Structure 1
Amino acid sequence: MLVSALLTSVGINTALCVLFLTFYSILRKQPSYYDVYVPRLLADGTSKRRSHFSLERLIPSAGWVAKAWRISEEELLSSSGLDTLVFMRLITFSLKIFSFAGIIGIFLLLPINCLGTQLEEFDIADLAGNSLDVFTISNVNNGSNRLWIHFSAVYLLTIFTCFLLYYEYKYISSKRISYFYSSKPQPHQFTILVRSIPPSSSSSVSETVESFFKELYPSTYLSHVVIHRTSKIRNLVNEARKLYKRITKLQSDSTQQKRRNVNLVDHYEKKLEDIEENVKLEQSESSLAGEETRAAFVSFNSRYAAGTAFHLRQSVNPTQWITEQAPEPQDVYWPFFSESFMRRWISKLFVIVVCILFTILFLIPVVVVQGLTNLSQLETWFPFLTSILTITFVSQVITGYLPSLILLLFQKMVPPVMEFLSSIQGYISHTDIVKSACNKVLWFTIWNVFFATVFSGSVLSQMFIILDPKEIPAKLAVVVPAQASFFIAYVVTSGWTSISAELFRVIPLIFSLICRPFTKSANDDEFEAPSMPYHKDIPRILLFGLLGMTYFFLAPLILPFLLIYLCLAYIIYQNQFINVYATKYETAGKFWPIVHNSMIFSLVLMHIIAVGIFALKKLPLASTLTFPLPVLTLLFNEYCRKRFLPMFVAYSAESLIKKDRQDQNDATMAEFFEKLVTAYKDPALMPIQYSSNTDSLRRPLVS
């Protein structure tokens, strides 16, 4: 790719960014778009729609930038929770890493690459006509002593990154403990989930659970709630909710429409009453022993007792009485409660197979995208485009902008697919589903966007070579630098445009414009703000971290574009957490181990490429001296895993006992334990009343 093609991509994306930022600064001040740009403030009641017109509303302003910049870490923690803090620490951590890398890469490594003549002479007079390859390590002459500067840079970045990783892991761990100590008593702290309860011919599941835990934990067992099969009831409740919204909309129409719709409203009311009757009947049947699953929430009178029951294996048969930490009651994912050990195992196996097939199918757009970056290959595929491709601007757009855009559009389908697959894998909470989806999206993205891209094209047919571990560094040393220009353009397209589109909220805006003529304006008191899609945004930032690490010494030209993205991300996400996203579920910082592992993987990959590139550049001593780096990095990771990871799996006995003692003198604990008995009752079993017929509430469930 020529510099001119990259500049075309930068120009297009910069224009889109400016356009999105300008429109956002105007639309965010329009009351009719508050539900798009400040939904959290509407839901909290801290912002109301103002109807009076002012000219200031039509003038772009950057006041939101200063407001987002000023918000402190403690304010963010108190308003949005620890997961939000972890997400922002990921951005600031990346900024520190690549600011350090940028100083070395731009001011030291980049001039050395340009001074080389291995590929071609760098022509500063015709900057736009230069190939981007002259800015990479491939242009440094073989055997040049200047390569020792690249070698030293790899060591420096590794040391600096490991130091920051240790500091961040320690910091997040301490915040997690502090967050636990400062929290009020929560039901999930006193409760565990028990699955694979063995069947009994003489007693129900509820009686089996009660007798089992009363015998093993006579002084600490408090209560239990057996989980019932309620999928049919849940469907009826959802149908009733939709009908109620439809009736409310019809009743809110104008007087003329009310006269026309009165019969329709009566029809819906009658249908709604019938659904509510069916719900009550199904609820009464569900309460029978035959509808019980082999799973239950078991509560204890102390956190330490719940923690002890969670950690100990309850039965000599490890496939029975399986315990898990209970999620928060509002975090429970009720639709998929597979109580069978075998069914959950089969579900996980099925999801793995589907993920592999999806990964293989995704190679098709990756190969097509790489074909677009090569004009000669494109002319071979589509001979009729030869005359069009001779136009300079068209060829620059196709090679510099279109490939990244196509790959970005295909990537949009990955997070929802992975979230769905995680939801059928047997997880019991929304947070577990999001964490699992985050891991799936991350490794899918790393494989399909990075590895599949660098090994596509002519090398794709030779991928069997990399099955030999000895060949991996050499092959990576050849193919990774060759894709530097594509990934620089990818950071610009997928980074700059995506983050500005996140601020502009393109999809919610379009959806709002389409639905507005057909719906009544929402009541701000009933408005619900969206939650942060961590499984979509964390993998994207970690992918950019991988690209920054691997291309730090290969093609340092990527670093300025990456730093611009991270600066935009810091301001925009701070703004979104203030105005848009509300916390629905909290993992208390459990995303950080995913971040840590990804950064370690990026470091080791950089070391493997360095071993290959120094050998390829006829500097075998530097290649040999790089070998200790991945070993030392993995040893450092093992130390961090032993030192910090257990704090993210479960709280220590010391923490649990200390927190229990704090609550001993709390007068509200008696009331808390009374509510704990029913905290985990399935919402589908709760009575509903959407229709105007109140007599149905007084009728017995079973006549």
Structure 2
Amino acid sequence: MDPSDPSTNDPRRRAPLVLTTQLVIAASFGIPAFLSFCFLRTQWADLYAARTLHHPNLPPLPKSFFGWIPALYKITEDQVLEHAGLDAFVFLGFFSMAIKLLAVCTFFAVTVISPIRWHYTGLYDGDGSLSVIHRTRLTIIGHASVDGDMNSNDESVVTDPEQYDTYLWCYVIFAWVFTAVTGYFLLRQTHHIVRVRQAYLGSQSSITDRTIRLSGVPVELRSEEALKEHIETLGIGEVRSITICRQWKELDNLMDRRRKMLRKVELAWTEYFGDDGVKRSPRASLPVSSLPPSSAFQMTDDSATPLLNGENTHVELPNVISGTPPVGRRRPLLRAGFLGIFGNIVDKIDYYTAKLEKLDQQIKLSRHKEYKATPVAFVTMDSVASAQMAAQAVLDPQAYHLIAHNAPAPHDVIWPNLYKSKFERLVRQWFVTIIIAIATVPLALCVSFLAAFLEKDSIAKFWPALSNVLEKSDLLNALVTGFLPTFLFTLLNILVPFIFNGLSTIQGYISHGDVELSVVGKNFFYIFVNLFLLFTVAGTASKLWAILKDTTSIAATLAQSLKSMSLFYVDLIILQGMGMIPFRLLEFGVVFKYPFKKFFSKTPRDFYNLSKPPNFNYGFFLPQPLLILIVCLSYSCMSTKILTFGLIYFILGYFTFKYQLLYSMAHTQHSTGKSWPMIFFRVCIGLIIFQITTAGTLALQKAFYLSLLLVPLPIFTLIMMYNFYEHYLPLSYFIALRSILSNEIRRQGSRTLDEERERNQVYINPNLVSPLEDPWIADENGRPINVHYD
């Protein structure tokens, strides 16, 4: 490869090699992962069909190697709604909408845009340089540099403005067409989601739908009787129950200490049984019971089923440790002093059991104490209509008093955050905001460093030796400038959401659903700003500084950068779609961690937790598809390859996430489809970027008149966003009174998923009422041994 030859740096020359290399690498990841899943799906049913253990009514899938694919495709939206809930319905609906949108855009790109481009330029794709090459003479009639000036040094330059303008009209027409198509599918999906959401929530009467959360409760109303009387005098309905949130921190701390002590007791019993007497047993039904107070502690074969919430309850253990201590085995001992180094030697089981008994007594006393009331309360009304009227009404003439909100589901509430003061939550929010702002700087530097690997010229500036090596090998050049940046990009996308999840957790949100939506927002902001705008527009720190000095060049720079970055995004979408999506199906992270978790599992409870399905968090899985769709929209007039591979990405993603949400992963958060407004607004932002970059592309070609024809498009998009905000956003958060059906016309003999999982639940801190569990023990036959006090 001759470095003096300018063609060696032409992205169009190296594109086939880079594309082929990325396809081979992605296929080498994806195909084995997919085939492994098809084989392991039935072999490791506890992992890959974990939800079927707790939801036996799920639509069955064939056990054949590929037979599950058509069966999964035939599962309808109604079945998704029934078995996975509204959040899964909205998430998969986004993928379905993206598939239809990209299918239409790809059709036009393949049948109209690319043939026109080929006719006038000899190029099938418009990525890289937007040079216009005559189809017969292959002479350049317009080569725009970064600043938009024509390249007068090229001897082959000719001027043919008529043909040039005719070709650029294609961009104008299809910018309007794709904007209209995107708006149509967005509004169509919005209508569909709103209609289904209103019908679904209006047809049920779960405790969540009948409950509101009140903040700003004045001091004189901070008792159940006073607040109940006040609410009923407002004439919005009868109050069924009220829970005033109180300062239960002391009780929460005691329960946390008890959970840790319970584990120590179970570890002591497991140590007593010994490794040589412990084995994995078949399924066993292990009773969960409260611990009655006493001073004696013993094992017994009594397996009488305890009562929990008025029902006989057993916990299904797929695998529990069982065994019997060998004859003559001594009970484990420890020193009772500081750090287990000093003090008298005592029986470990008796020592920890005595501490557990003492904690139980403290908890029982604490449960009967009076705690200071907070200005937060849960009010359960007699009907869904009453709760919705209260949630949408102004209840008090004084500011910050009796502010009503829809309540999260009882199992979704983060109780310790409810009785944090408003000031403490505000401090936490500002603290997290500052941390994210500070972290943006090193992340931006990482992105700039990552962008430097895209071109050999930039590599030569900071690593000349590597640049010299790349000059000698086309394959190595394709790997370093093609695969390496996309791999590092993917690695950042995997690691950063965990940081945002931790930050959102400490921010003070009152429900796990709110935490999840916060992670969606933070993660999307990160990948959109740092890994799209900064990566695409800036590329390097020097170019970023140039943009900051002249902000009027943002549109033109974005347009030029998108052209030069097209190969990177093709590689990224290929790696994400064909390589990483099958790994999500395989749940590689869960499989990788399983041996380590199993190694550190010692007690029956540990082994029981191994069988729990992993949690599906939209904060981890939603932002990246949003970015992929924005990239596809941005390149819709420019790159047929990106549209095509984007379509493949969403098809593979739809099947992968549909399987996971229905069969292998549990979504314990509960936000009733509130992620759709976030999706809608962010897709609209991507649409505006597409319109701006298309206008910038035309401006770079001195086609200012054509560029002006695109000015109305961002205005129309903003109007569409405002229309959604005014008319559809309330329907995405509340239930319309007209949608609330009477009990006589509700579905007979069936419950929704929300009603089923909220059955017998109440709005009360679990630490006040949850049974004090016995240690989990099993004998050599897998039969439960109930360990309790006499």
Q: Same fold (TM over 0.5)?
A: yes
Judging changes above 3 Å, is the alpha-carbon distance between structure 1 residues 273 and 487 closer, same or farther for their aligned structure 2 residues?
farther
Alignment partner of 1:593 out of 674, 677, 681: 677
How far did 1:478 drift?
2.2
Deviations 1:617-652 (A, max 9, x none): 121221111101111122122223333221112112
Deviations 1:268-295 (A, max 9, x none): 4641452353254145336433444332
- What are the within-5 Å matches in structure 2 for residues 150-161 of structure 1? 150-161=171-182
Q: Letter of the 1:381 partner, please give it.
A: F
Matched, 1:196 2:209: no
Alignment partner of 2:689 out of 582, 605, 608: 605
Matched, 1:614 2:698: yes
How far did 1:301 drift?
1.8
Deviations 1:539-584 (A, max 9, x none): 1111111000001112232112111211211222222233202343
Residue matched to 1:342: 423
Judging changes above 3 Å, is the alpha-carbon distance between structure 1 residues 23 and 568 closer, same or farther for their aligned structure 2 residues?
same
Q: Letter of the 1:450 partner, please give it.
A: F
CA distance in 1, matches of 2:67, 2:236: 60
Give TM-score scaled by structure 2 length: 0.77
Alpha-carbon contact 2:410-2:761 (below 8 Å) kept:
no
Residue matched to 2:768: 685
Alpha-carbon contact 1:42-1:527 (below 8 Å) kept:
no
Residue matched to 2:557: 475
- What are the within-5 Å matches in structure 2 for residues 434-445 of structure 1? 434-445=516-527
Residue matched to 1:547: 631
Provide the alpha-carbon RMSD of the alignment. Answer: 3.5
CA distance in 2, matches of 1:171, 1:523: 43
Matched, 1:22 2:35: yes
Alpha-carbon contact 1:240-1:690 (below 8 Å) kept:
no
Q: Percent identity?
A: 21
CA distance in 2, matches of 1:136, 1:40: 54
CA distance in 1, matches of 2:431, 2:185: 38
Instruction: Report how many aligned residue pairs link the two structures.
Output: 665
Q: Which runs of 5+ in 1 are unaligned?
A: 48-55, 125-129, 697-703
Which stretch shifts more, 613-622 or 282-291? 282-291
How far did 1:607 drift?
0.9
Matched, 1:141 2:135: no
Q: Letter of the 1:336 partner, please give it.
A: N
Aligned-partner SS, 1:141: coil
CA distance in 2, matches of 1:367, 1:641: 36
Residue matched to 2:183: 162
Structure with more of its chain in strand, by fraction: 2
How far did 1:91 drift?
1.0
- What are the within-5 Å matches in structure 2 for residues 393-472 of structure 1? 393-458=475-540, 460-463=542-545, 465=547, 470-472=552-554
How far did 1:305 drift?
2.6
Aligned-partner SS, 1:293: strand
How far did 1:451 drift?
0.4
Q: Letter of the 1:477 partner, please give it.
A: A
Alpha-carbon contact 1:115-1:140 (below 8 Å) kept:
no
Q: Letter of the 2:19 partner, please give it.
A: L
Residue matched to 1:34: 45
Matched, 1:92 2:92: no
Alpha-carbon contact 2:537-2:557 (below 8 Å) kept:
no
CA distance in 1, matches of 2:132, 2:411: 53
Residue matched to 1:74: 78
Alpha-carbon contact 2:597-2:610 (below 8 Å) kept:
no
Judging changes above 3 Å, is the alpha-carbon distance between structure 1 residues 689 and 586 closer, same or farther for their aligned structure 2 residues?
closer
- What are the within-5 Å matches in structure 2 for residues 266-305 of structure 1? 267-268=348-349, 270-282=351-363, 284-285=365-366, 287-305=368-386
CA distance in 1, matches of 2:391, 2:350: 47
Deviations 1:493-549 (A, max 9, x none): 233222111011111111123334554798789943233221121111111110000
Matched, 1:220 2:224: no
How far did 1:693 drift?
6.2
Residue matched to 1:255: 277
Aligned-partner SS, 2:54: helix
How far did 1:181 drift?
3.1
Deviations 1:354-410 (A, max 9, x none): 222233321122111111112222233123334532333222111110111011111
Aligned-partner SS, 1:309: helix
Alignment partner of 1:235 out of 253, 256, 260: 256
Judging changes above 3 Å, is the alpha-carbon distance between structure 1 residues 211 and 480 closer, same or farther for their aligned structure 2 residues?
same
Which stretch shifts more, 16-25 or 65-74? 65-74
CA distance in 1, matches of 2:761, 2:649: 47
Q: Which one has the largest radius of gyration?
A: 2
Alpha-carbon contact 2:538-2:544 (below 8 Å) kept:
no
Judging changes above 3 Å, is the alpha-carbon distance between structure 1 residues 208 and 111 closer, same or farther for their aligned structure 2 residues?
same
CA distance in 2, matches of 1:75, 1:681: 32
CA distance in 1, matches of 2:550, 2:465: 41
- What are the within-5 Å matches in structure 2 for residues 660-679 of structure 1? 679=762
How far did 1:77 drift?
1.7
Alpha-carbon contact 1:405-1:494 (below 8 Å) kept:
no
Q: Letter of the 1:378 partner, please give it.
A: I
Alpha-carbon contact 1:205-1:294 (below 8 Å) kept:
no
Q: Letter of the 2:764 partner, please give it.
A: K
CA distance in 2, matches of 1:41, 1:343: 42
Residue matched to 2:21: 8
Judging changes above 3 Å, is the alpha-carbon distance between structure 1 residues 324 and 133 closer, same or farther for their aligned structure 2 residues?
same
CA distance in 2, matches of 1:77, 1:23: 29
CA distance in 2, matches of 1:518, 1:419: 24
Aligned-partner SS, 1:224: strand
How far did 1:68 drift?
1.8
Which stretch shifts more, 631-640 or 212-221? 212-221
Q: Letter of the 1:375 partner, please give it.
A: K
Q: Letter of the 1:9 partner, please give it.
A: Q
Deviations 1:653-679 (A, max 9, x none): 3334x447768x99x9xxx9xx99971
Aligned-partner SS, 1:336: helix
Judging changes above 3 Å, is the alpha-carbon distance between structure 1 residues 140 and 407 closer, same or farther for their aligned structure 2 residues?
farther
Structure with more of its chain in helix, by fraction: 1
Residue matched to 1:484: 566
Residue matched to 2:585: 503
Aligned-partner SS, 1:586: coil
Residue matched to 1:321: 402
CA distance in 2, matches of 1:261, 1:557: 70
Q: Letter of the 1:195 partner, please give it.
A: S
How far did 1:600 drift?
1.1
Deviations 1:415-434 (A, max 9, x none): 22222222233321111211
Deviations 1:301-328 (A, max 9, x none): 2223322332333434322333321111
Which stretch shifts more, 576-585 or 493-502? 576-585
Aligned-partner SS, 1:362: helix
Judging changes above 3 Å, is the alpha-carbon distance between structure 1 residues 186 and 246 closer, same or farther for their aligned structure 2 residues?
farther
Alpha-carbon contact 2:520-2:620 (below 8 Å) kept:
yes
CA distance in 1, matches of 2:404, 2:766: 22
Aligned-partner SS, 1:554: coil
Judging changes above 3 Å, is the alpha-carbon distance between structure 1 residues 307 and 71 closer, same or farther for their aligned structure 2 residues?
closer
Alignment partner of 1:388 out of 466, 469, 478: 469
CA distance in 2, matches of 1:479, 1:195: 49
Q: Letter of the 1:63 partner, please give it.
A: G
How far did 1:456 drift?
3.0
CA distance in 2, matches of 1:140, 1:240: 79
Alpha-carbon contact 1:106-1:557 (below 8 Å) kept:
no
CA distance in 1, matches of 2:101, 2:499: 32
How far did 1:589 drift?
2.0
Alpha-carbon contact 1:42-1:524 (below 8 Å) kept:
no
